[in-house]
Amino acid sequence: MRVRVKVWAMAALVVTGCGMRPAENRAVMDSKVGQAQQGGLTLAVADGLAAVRELAPGTLVLWGNAPAFSARVEVGADAPSDWMVTVRNAMPDAVLVVQEEGGAALTPEPLPQALPTVKVWRVALRAGATVRLSVAPPDAESREPFRFLAMADVQEALPSVGDIYERMRRDDSARFILFAGDLTESGTRAELLEFQERLEAGSRIPLYATLGNHETFSRDAAEYHALVGRGSQSFVFKGVRFTVLDSSNGTLDPWVEEQLDGWLESGRQGTHVVSMHVPPQDPVGMRGGGFANRGEAAGLVGKMARAGVDLTLYGHIHSFYSFTNAGIPAFIAGGGGALPETFDGVGRHYLAVDVGAEDGLHQAALVRVD
């Protein structure tokens, strides 16, 4: 009976949410990620690259959604001076730099943690000051090639996602995981919290994500925005620009597309990796698992190609595909464990991608988990 109710609820959720701008609400929510005011502190994370998980007098907890990010902090007159700053889902070697505006750099005290992606610092903040917090690994500004891992679509396979992290742990060179949506089956708070707990327990590297259509099943991804971060954002690591987009309705909201134009312009001269959940073009056209409008899809991939995007990474389709869209190398790596596409001979998998700021994509290798 519960299964039947769930199926009907899913069907209703899929049908609802249609409209001229079904992703507009999420684009608005994006703009509020990383903004908070509480406990005498006013916080604004630049470009929304981290979600504020907790802000109380003396305590700030962030969930990082990029390898490097900064935040502007206004310390109220009545704010306490002693603060514990926690960044979860941080790069294992991340350091915190605290710079008071017009003043000297402060010295945060790192506190040892058991989990590699959880970083905690004790910082003394002067009441009435405005400070800039920067969280990044020491080599974030260098331009050497590096490796990241790409995957998507864990969904109902969340209980066994640890197998994938276990396989990933064998590769010491990977810096982070880029996740193309559908972390969970329904996007509930409980599911997302479980996803994050399993990630922290099983993975030695952080995971930076965009949302998938399954995240929208719960309050149009409000929980995702609160716990993980933005659906559409762009960051730079070691000279390579990464842009993730919320395409979970088979479209881009015009507001997101406007932001994308800016990110494409910023990444025009360097290496640029773009990732989203629903691929603009399904390589199996009969299935039509791509965008709802093929004209919009062609317009998007054409725009990315003209802007010199080096690599596109997608999810949504639970298999592995290697193809091109408008000449850009494209991969679907939907092997996170969700109901797999049969007869494809792949099983659970992820991609190991080597890129460099100077020479773009080196290689993308399929890594099988099972």
Partner 1 sequence: MASEHPLRSRWASLSLVAVWLFSTPGLAQVGTPDTARPADAPVQAPSVAGALPAGPQGSATEARPADGDPGPDAPAALEQGRAEEPSTAGLSLDARPASARQDLADDAPQRPDFKPWAVPVAVVPGLLFHGLAPLVAGDTHTAKRLFALEGTGLGLIALGGVPIVLTGASRRTIAPLYAVTLAGFSALGISALANLYAVTSPAFDPGVAPPMLPPLELELGYQHVNDTAFDYRHFVTVGAQARFESLRLLGTVRVDPAEGNTQVRLGGAWRLLGAPERSLVGTDGSALDVEAFGQFHRYPTEGFAMVSGEVGLRGRLAMSRISPALAGSFAEVSLGTSLETYTYAGAVSDGNLHDQLLYTFGYGVWLGRGGGPFRGEAMLYYDHRKDSFVGGLRSRGGGIVGAFGLRGRALLTESWGVAAEVQAGGALVGRLSLIYALGGER
The 69-75 sheet, strands edge to edge: 35-38, 41-45, 69-75, 130-136, 95-100, 105-106
Helices 294-306 and 254-267 cross at an angle (nearest 10°) of 20
CA distance 26 to 127: 35
Binding segment for partner 1 (CB under 8 A), chosen from 31-39, 62-70, 297-305, 348-356, is 297-305
Strands (E) in 91-205, as ranges, are 95-100, 105-106, 109-111, 119-124, 130-136, 146-151, 174-180
Tokens of 190: 């409980």
Q: Which of residues 69-108 bind partner 1 (CB under 8 A)?
A: none
Interaction of residue 56 with partner 1, rule CB under 8 A: no
H or E element at residue 265: helix 254-267
Interaction of residue 186 with partner 1, rule CB under 8 A: no
Interaction of residue 218 with partner 1, rule CB under 8 A: no
Interaction of residue 248 with partner 1, rule CB under 8 A: yes
Sequence letter at residue 362: H
Tell which one of 263, 291, 314, 350 touches partner 1 (CB under 8 A). Answer: 291
Tell which one of 86, 89, 117, 213 touches partner 1 (CB under 8 A). Answer: 213
By beta-carbon proximity to partner 1, the closer residue of 19 and 103 is 19
Tell which one of 1, 3, 5, 18 touches partner 1 (CB under 8 A). Answer: 18
The 82-88 sheet, strands edge to edge: 50-56, 59-64, 82-88, 119-124, 109-111
Q: How far is the CB of 299 from partner 1 (least distance, A)?
A: 3
Binding segment for partner 1 (CB under 8 A), chosen from 93-101, 137-145, 192-200, 322-330, is 322-330
Tell which one of 285, 359, 362, 363 touches partner 1 (CB under 8 A). Answer: 285
Tell which one of 44, 95, 222, 284 touches partner 1 (CB under 8 A). Answer: 284
CA distance 271 to 319: 26
Interaction of residue 193 with partner 1, rule CB under 8 A: no
Interaction of residue 275 with partner 1, rule CB under 8 A: no
Tell which one of 84, 97, 115, 305 touches partner 1 (CB under 8 A). Answer: 305
Q: How far is the CB of 221 from partner 1 (least distance, A)?
A: 10
238: left (phi over 0), alpha (psi -120 to 50) or beta: left
Residues 6+ apart with CB under 8 A from 312: 273, 274, 275, 279, 301, 304, 325, 328, 329, 330, 331
Q: How far is the CB of 32 from partner 1 (least distance, A)?
A: 21
Distance of CA 317 to the CA centre of its chain: 18
CA-CA distances (angstroms) from residue 50 to 43, 67, 171, 282? 11, 10, 26, 31
Interaction of residue 281 with partner 1, rule CB under 8 A: yes
Interaction of residue 128 with partner 1, rule CB under 8 A: no
Tell which one of 138, 159, 262, 327 touches partner 1 (CB under 8 A). Answer: 327
By beta-carbon proximity to partner 1, the closer residue of 110 and 285 is 285
Binding segment for partner 1 (CB under 8 A), chosen from 15-23, 90-98, 203-211, 358-366, is 15-23
CA distance 322 to 305: 17
CA distance 321 to 120: 40
Interaction of residue 323 with partner 1, rule CB under 8 A: yes
| Cβ contact 332:319 at 8 Å | yes
Tokens of 195: 């996803």
DSSP string for 279-292: -SS-SSTTT--S-S
Any idea which residue has 């791509």 for tokens? 290
Interaction of residue 368 with partner 1, rule CB under 8 A: no
Tell which one of 70, 186, 216, 232 touches partner 1 (CB under 8 A). Answer: 216
By beta-carbon proximity to partner 1, the closer residue of 21 and 122 is 21
By beta-carbon proximity to partner 1, the closer residue of 60 and 333 is 333
Tell which one of 6, 8, 9, 21 touches partner 1 (CB under 8 A). Answer: 21
Any idea which residue has 């599911």 for tokens? 191
Site residues (vs partner 1, CB under 8 A): 13-23, 213, 216-217, 248-254, 257, 278, 281, 284-296, 298-299, 301-303, 305-306, 316-319, 323-327, 339-344
